[in-house]
Amino acid sequence: MSFSQLDYCQYLLSSPNNYTLNNLANHLENVSHDTINRYLTKENFTSESLWQNVKKDIQISENSAIIFDDTVLDKRFGEKIELVRRQYSGTEHRVLSGIGLVNCVYVNPELGLFWVIDYRIYDPYCLCPFSLESIEKISSSDKENSLSVKS
């Protein structure tokens, strides 16, 4: 059995907690951890890849909103992973080692549905750290993607 980007995206969307390769391999017949690992090593997932996967499913509304949500991806056992640093997690209510992530979410309040449409990984060591300009760039790309939002 082959493994595709669609398989991986569906797994991420349907797994509320456990995003490990082992967990995914345990739930697929004839696909090993190594097969998935080789696939992910070759692929380059970007925010554009995310947009291409969700744009056909978005249900546009005049009353919709775009929400920017920051989170910390817990990497307490990954001190040597690039971008891992000590930072406060609102979910954990404490400081932990993790990677900062900002998600851009399109919300349709009439249907009670939402879609993650963009993201940025926060890199505190970059010469151009995440800022209001980054949010403006994401927002302008949303307009280019023809999403309707109230401002």
* pLDDT one-digit tens code per residue, 139-151: 566 545 567 555 5
140 and 72 belong to one structural domain = yes
pLDDT digit string, tens, across residues 40-60: 888 887 888 888 888 888 898
- The verdict on residue 50 lying in a domain is no
Per the domain annotation, does 34 fall within a domain?
yes
For 89, the 3-state DSSP assignment is strand
Q: Same domain for 88 and 149?
A: yes
Is residue 22 domain-resident? yes
- 27 with 64, same domain: the answer is no
* SS3 category, 34: helix
- 52 falls within a domain: no
Residue 110 inside a domain? The answer is yes
Contact 74, 18 (CB under 8 A): no
Q: How far apart are CA 10 and CA 19, in angstroms?
A: 11
What pTM does this model have? Answer: 0.67
Residue 119 lies inside a defined structural domain of this protein: yes
Expressed as residue numbers, the domain containing 20 is 1-45
In a domain, 6, yes or no: yes
111 with 149, same domain: the answer is yes
Number of domains, the chain? 2
Residue 10, pLDDT above cutoff 80: no
